[in-house]
Amino acid sequence: MAAAFVGGAALGAAFGEGFAVLHDTVKDVVSKARMFKPILKRLESTLNNLAPMVNEITQLSEQLDLRKVETENLIKNMKKGEKLVRKCLKIRWWNYCFKVYYSYKLEELDKEIVRFCQVDLQVHSARNGLRTLVNVNLILQKVDSVVDRKGVPCTVRDPPDFTVGFDMPMKELKTLLLKEEVQLLLLTAPGGCGKTTLVQMLCQDDQIRGMFEDNILFVNVSKTPNVKVIVQKLLNYKDVQPNFQIQSDEDAIDQLSQLLNHLSPNPILLILDDVWPGSESLPEMFKFDLPNYKILVTSRTAFPRFKFTYHLKPLDDVDAMTLFHRSASLHDGSSYLPAEEEVKKIVRGCGGFPLVIKVIGGSLCGQHAVVWHSRLMKWSDGQFYFSSDTELLAHLQKSLEFSDDKVIIKECFMDLGSFPEDQRIPAAALIDMWAELYELDEDGIQAIANLQELTIRNLASLVMARKDASEVKSYYNEDFVTQHDILRELAMHQSSQESVGQRPRLIINISGNNLPKWWTEQKQQLINARLLSISTDELFSSSWCNIQGSKVEVLVLNFHSKNYTLPDFVEKMDKLKVLIINNFGFFHSKISNFQLLRSLPNLKRIRLEKVSISSLCKTLVPLKSLKKISLFMCNIGKAFEDCTIQVSDAFPNLTEISIDYCNDLEELPVGLCDIIHLKKISITNCHKLFALPEKIGKLVNLEVLRLRSCTDLSELPDSIKSLHKLSILDISDCLSIMKLPKHIGELCNLKELNMKGCLRLRTQFPESIMDLEQLKLVVCDEERARLWEPIKEFLTELKWRLVAIYCLDAQLRKQSDGVSGLMSTIFLPARTSSS
């Protein structure tokens, strides 16, 4: 592609090369990012249209007289833009810090290019070149916008891949919304009708996007809205710092007014999704006298105070049948096909509610005729009219009929209610819970299988990050689960059928300081739950009442505050095996009473999210049963160093530690190297980590070492050669590593090596690498794959069982005939008798 633009003076060549790089980058993005494909296709089309202009610039540039340094600066900026775009595509949905960082970098790049044009291209013959550069700036901004929308709060998610019956409602809703006199519009329907889906489709409409562009703001309100939190989300989304600290709702509204005035006079659409009864005054608070400013509210309740209301009706019989056929896979011919009248009976019972149809259809997918007939006998014949969520929940219960060998799936479904609404549930947290509650395997394979079963039945959605070939069965730290609010309520409803004291799963949601009556009525409430979940909001500040939970094995604490105190009753939970602490607030939280854990003799797993840890070892009593510590987005500081006893004495039997997105971790604490029982160390996305201690070689039982996306890590210590039990080494996306350890060949049990994205690893491998006789799999990109070429013949002469290199580069994917995952096999098995 670049060759087409080479020629002419220095400016033409520089711009042609930069344009080509951007063009190829966008093509690469189109092939990878499926959820952004429509947008990126348009970007690709824009670049295609610009190609003739670039050719013209190449010709006109012969008339310009530019200094060499100017040309070099332009080339540098174009290359920088290409690298920034590729890095942005790796940002995860919750990585707000990196989103802001790379957005700032792209904006600086835009300014540099504009400055170049304004200062050095003030000649008539370069006018077309200036216009093209402006277009490139727009392209960079659009790509930035695409990355910004990837899973960030206040953005509208894409609608489901398959929808039916929404075309006419979308036209009617759009017509009403665009009327000049309509500033506040309510979209109402019972839960499960598809209100949010309709809004998602509306925001993808060309006319709506053309009118509001980047000023579509989406906020999920939920049951207990907090004005300060909502406004802070909007400010964060637009990268705006408040003029003063937000202390009250009045402060928040004032800051929102300033933000909207800043965005005006451009049209603005604010979407307040899922407004509950009791919060109907919230949209009124967000009204301002601004031109072209509109608010769209969705709610299960048709609030009378709203002047303009659109009622979303259930699907008609034709559309309901179409959706049911799709959900039950009746179109593929591979499962039992019931009589049409039987299908109509079931669909009539679903009441035209898309969610109910999908759930029930999914539960019948692939079932035998006996199951279909049994369900028909149990389900009522005739139309269901859902006047409240309670009736919808009662109807959805019918989808929770599992065979005896899958009863555990129902238990797992109900466990999902242990986490707050509208929050992504980390798969790793569920793996920890279920490994102890149901004795599932610790690697998480069975847990993920259960989540996939729930996904198939439309009871939850498992979102899995793209797996490299070596990670399909081992790495789930980036995977998460989402669940529709209605289904979460169903899970909680199912868990609350017995009296509080007798429930095996007790889920407590506290709004403000309003503790449940049953909790405050007795000085000491006795419970028999194995799983206890307590969620509090930003307003919680009261002291805890006592609970006698001698049978609790899993404790989940969810909160939204800067300071959090562990309940005193935790100290008495002698059977507690898993402790999960989740801070869903904006800022890291300081945890008080952490020393209570020292009295828990059976505690095996601790998972902390977004908390500040002063020390994990300020105790005189070791946690002898503790096997695993997981730290996600935590401020670690000196958590393993400022200790009253040695780390190895505090956690003598620790076998696994996972540290993810802990941005203040610069060095792996030396004390961890004395925990000789450690089998797994996972340090991922810790971008300030620059070194591993030389003493890491003391961890003679270490089997897995993951250091993925530790971008400042420059090398692996030579002592790593002593890790003779190490079977998996993952240094993928460690951008600063320039060489492998000299004696890496002494890792005599190494089976998997992931070096994908190690961009500075370009030197020849050490000679000892040919001693890795157990190596079965190497995952790398195209450039690293070429480093293996000189030794492949020697490797086959050694008759290794399997040494395969999977290249994940986009260009090799195009050559792989569409096979996902296995891109290029460079080394094939030389010996097949035992492999």
CB atoms within 10 A of CB 515: 17
Distance CA(143)–CA(180), nearest Å, equals 32
Question: How many other C-beta atoms lie within 10 A of the C-beta of residue 812?
Answer: 15
Q: Quick check: helix, strand or coil at residue 284?
A: helix
The residue to which tokens 């000023």 are assigned? 215
The reported pLDDT for the residue numbered 388 is 43
pLDDT tens digits for range 491-536: 888 888 888 889 999 999 888 888 888 888 776 778 899 999 999 9
Tokens 């492949």 belong to: 792
Three-class DSSP category at 490? helix
pLDDT for 320 equals: 92
C-alpha distances in Å from residue 681, one per residue of 692, 704, 707: 12, 6, 8
CA–CA separation, 372 vs 395, rounded Å? 17
Nearest in space to 584 (alpha carbons), one of 561, 563, 564: 561
Give CATH for domain 665-835: 3.80.10.10
Answer positive or negative: Cα dihedral of 237, 243, 247, 252: negative
Higher pLDDT, 235 or 524: 235
**Residue 642 exposure: Cα atoms within 13 Å on the Cβ side:** 7
- Most confident listed range (27-36, 599-608, 637-646): 599-608
pLDDT in tens, 552-596: 999 999 998 888 888 889 989 999 999 999 998 888 888 888 888
Greater confidence (615 vs 734) lies with 734
pLDDT at 216: 92
Res 17: pLDDT:
63
Residues 457, 578 contacting (CB under 8 angstroms): no
* The pLDDT of residue 296 is above 90: yes
**Is the pLDDT reported for residue 651 higher than 80?**
yes
For residue 662, is it left (φ>0), alpha (ψ between -120 and 50) or beta?
A: beta
250 vs 7, higher pLDDT: 250
Helical ranges in 631-743 per DSSP H: 647-650
Does 539 or 434 have the greater pLDDT score? 434
More confident residue, 828 or 216: 216
CA distances from 452 to 439, 464, 474 (A): 18, 10, 15
Q: Provide the edge-to-edge strand list for the sheet that holds 216-222.
A: 216-222, 268-275, 293-299, 184-188, 308-311
**Beta-strand relationship, 308-311 and 425-426:** unpaired
CB 249 within 8 A of CB 256: no
Contacts of 706 (CB under 8 A, 6+ apart): 475, 680, 681, 682, 683, 684, 728, 730
Peptide bond into 265 cis (omega under 30): yes
Pairing mode of beta strands 704-706, 546-548: unpaired
DSSP letters of 31-93? HH-GGGHHHHHHHHHHHHHHHHHHHHHHHHGGG----HHHHHHHHHHHHHHHHHHHHHTT--T
Q: How confident is the model at residue 7 (pLDDT cuts 50, 70, 90)?
A: very low
Joined together, the tokens standing for residue 282 give 């919230």
- The most confident of the ranges 372-381, 693-702, 816-825 is 693-702
Alpha carbon of residue 445 to chain centroid: 19
Whole-number Cα distances in Å, 772 to 462, 718, 726: 36, 16, 12
| Domain coordinates in residue numbering, the chain | 2-148, 167-311, 665-835
Strands 554-559 and 578-583: parallel
Among 313-322, 608-617, 716-725, name the one with the lowest average pLDDT: 608-617
pLDDT of residue 458: 75
Its sign, for the CA torsion 763, 768, 770, 776, is: negative
pLDDT higher than 80, residue 56: no
Alpha carbon distance 777, 802 (integer Å): 7
Handedness of CA 290, 225, 487, 189 (dihedral sign): negative
Task: Please state the φ and ψ torsions of residue 218, each to the nearest 5 degrees.
Answer: -120, 125
What is the average pLDDT value for the chain, to the nearest integer? 77
**Quick one: angle between helices 167-177 and 195-204, nearest 10?**
70
Going by C-alpha positions, the residue among 643, 654, 651 that lies closest to residue 618 is 643
What CATH superfamily is the domain 167-311?
P-loop containing nucleotide triphosphate hydrolases (3.40.50.300)
Is residue 615 within 8 Å of 635, Cβ to Cβ? no
